[in-house]
């Protein structure tokens, strides 16, 4: 029985990993030529590797992918939306703006069933009609909803009538613009104009 | 292949749920095989490999697109297998008795210890015998051997999957080979 070099086992594994240096390989070859035990060991190791590699390949079931897809968590969708938002901040801001806008818009359109008029001094209300009496001057803008306005005096500002008519007496005078809004679309347009104006004012003011 | 998978991952990140299915198709056999060889039981292998894909999906935004996807996926699956092996250990015998025999479960291994090697060989098919010896390996050698010889990964990839230095991976493969050699020498 020969004395085996201390590192001979190590060299065998280096050889099996395909990473043996020429010097180590020489030592290994020389030793295997004279040591049948080590030769046997290496042979067994090679056989072991071949046996493990000979194992047949096994496949996942046919419905494997389907099952994975069915079990993916649903809340992921919310994560997806969040991710979309963080990737598109401008569109997100625009979307939020639109949602809030339309919310206030439709609610004000909806509950505007009742007659209402901007509270300004010197205005008289009679049977769903706002009257600016003769000789009186109203300072500021007037908005009338679901009713009419009769202007016999003077208005120092804009007059807007939603779902109603305006009667301007010959003696009446409006220094600003007079608008009548009767359709939802013009109402929408009016709101958008207002929104944009206040936005611009906000920007200009800040 | 990596390029195709990366384009699919980008789709998934954009919210395209179905693109993930194409990724599963590419890797399902490899991941299932890894789990089967690690756990030795079709039912557990199915469970664990399914879970690996679900975890990959849930954590897809943590995947570094510049790395190799298969390595990342192997890592998730290997860790799940190791967790399962560790959890299973305490009720080794109990588990086997309750479940009964399922070809290659723990119960049959307990039994087979009372047989001589010749009887073992006679009773089992060669493939089953090799699988059994792989299952008898300590889990740290088992993962290295399975990744190397069944999944055919390079040493570098294995070191990334197991998050270990290459030197440690080599040592584990060497030890695993030695244990298997002693068990399989009589075939």
Residue pairs spanning A and B at CB distance below 8 A = 107
Task: Round the average pLDDT of chain B to a whole number and report it.
Answer: 85
Q: Is residue A43 part of a domain?
A: yes
% of chain A at pLDDT higher than 90? 27
Of A35, A53, A71, at which residue does a domain stop? Answer: A53
Window from A77-86, A130-139, B81-90, B124-133 with minimum mean pLDDT: A77-86
Closest Cβ–Cβ partner in B49, B57, B173 for A72: B57
Q: Is residue A144 part of a domain?
A: yes
Looking at the structure, tell me whether residues A49 and A114 fall in a common domain: no
Whether B181 and A61 lie within 8 Å, measured CB to CB: no
- Show the domain range for A165: 110-205
CB contact residues (below 8 A), chain A span 62-91, against chain B = 64-65, 67-69, 71-73, 76-77, 80-81, 83-84
Question: Taking 60 as the threshold, does the pLDDT of residue B111 lie above it?
Answer: no
Mean pLDDT of the region B91-120? 50
Looking at the structure, tell me whether residues A117 and A49 fall in a common domain: no
Give me the pLDDT at residue B98, please: 42
Q: How far apart are the CA of A123 and the nearest CA of chain B, in angstroms?
A: 58
Q: Is residue A75 part of a domain?
A: no
Question: Taking 80 as the threshold, does the pLDDT of residue B99 lie above it?
Answer: no
Looking at the structure, tell me whether residues A121 and A39 fall in a common domain: no
Structural domain count, chain A = 2
- Three-state secondary structure readout of chain A: CCCCCCCHHHHHHHHHCCCCCHHHHHHHHHHHHHCHHHHHHHHHHHHHHHHHHCCCCCCCCCCHHHHHHHHCCCCHHHHHHHHHHHHCHHHHHHHHHHHHHHHHHHHHHHHHHCCEECCCCCCEEECCEEEECCCCEEECCEEEECCEEEECCEEECCEEEECCCEEECCCCEECCCEEEECCHHHHHHHHHHHHHHHHHHHHHHC
Whether A72 and B20 lie within 8 Å, measured CB to CB: yes
B46-62 pLDDT, tens digit each: 999 999 999 999 999 89
Looking at the structure, tell me whether residues A127 and A200 fall in a common domain: yes
Among B13, B130, B141, the strongest candidate for a mutation testing the A interface, having the largest count of A CBs within 10 A, is: B130
A104-124 pLDDT, tens digit each: 666 665 555 677 888 777 888
In CATH, B2-184 is 1.10.1740.10: yes
A2-22 pLDDT, tens digit each: 578 888 999 999 999 999 999
Among B62, B171, B176, B184, the strongest candidate for a mutation testing the A interface, having the largest count of A CBs within 10 A, is: B184
């Amino acid at each position: 029985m020969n004395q085996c070099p201390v590192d001979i086992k190590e060299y065998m594994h280096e050889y099996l990993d395909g990473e043996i240096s020429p010097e180590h390989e020489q030592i290994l070859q020389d030793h295997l030529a004279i040591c049948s035990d080590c030769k046997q060991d290496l042979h067994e190791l090679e056989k072991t590797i071949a046996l493990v590699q000979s194992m047949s390949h096994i496949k996942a079931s046919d419905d494997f992918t389907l099952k994975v897809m069915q079990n993916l968590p649903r809340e992921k969708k919310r994560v997806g939306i969040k991710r979309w938002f963080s990737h598109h901040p401008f569109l997100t801001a625009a979307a939020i703006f639109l949602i809030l806008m339309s919310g206030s818009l439709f609610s004000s359109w909806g509950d505007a069933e009742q007659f209402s008029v901007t509270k300004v001094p010197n205005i008289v209300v009679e049977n769903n009609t706002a009257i600016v009496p003769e000789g009186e001057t109203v300072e500021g803008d007037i908005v009338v909803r679901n009713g009419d306005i009769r202007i016999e005096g003077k208005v120092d500002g804009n007059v807007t009538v939603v779902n109603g008519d305006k009667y301007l007496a010959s003696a009446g005078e409006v220094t600003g613009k007079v608008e009548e809004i009767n359709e939802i679309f013009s109402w929408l347009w009016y709101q958008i104009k207002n929104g944009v104006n206040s936005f611009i004012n906000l920007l200009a003011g800040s | 292949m990596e390029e195709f998978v990366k384009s699919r991952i980008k789709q998934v990140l954009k919210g395209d749920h179905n693109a993930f299915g194409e990724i599963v198709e590419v890797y399902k056999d490899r991941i299932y095989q890894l789990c089967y060889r690690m756990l030795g039981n079709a039912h557990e292998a199915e469970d664990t490999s399914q879970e690996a894909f679900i975890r990959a999906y849930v954590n897809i935004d943590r995947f570094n697109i510049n790395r190799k996807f298969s390595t990342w996926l192997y890592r998730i699956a290997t860790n799940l297998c190791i967790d399962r092996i560790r959890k299973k250990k305490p009720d080794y015998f109990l588990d086997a008795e309750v479940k009964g025999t399922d070809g290659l479960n723990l119960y049959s291994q307990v039994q087979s210890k009372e047989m001589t090697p010749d009887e073992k060989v006679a009773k089992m098919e060669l493939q089953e015998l090799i699988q059994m010896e792989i299952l008898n390996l300590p889990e740290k050698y088992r993962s290295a051997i399975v990744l190397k010889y069944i999944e055919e990964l390079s040493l570098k990839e294995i070191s990334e999957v197991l998050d270990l230095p290459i030197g440690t991976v080599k040592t584990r493969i060497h030890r695993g080979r030695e244990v298997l050699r002693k068990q399989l020498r009589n075939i």
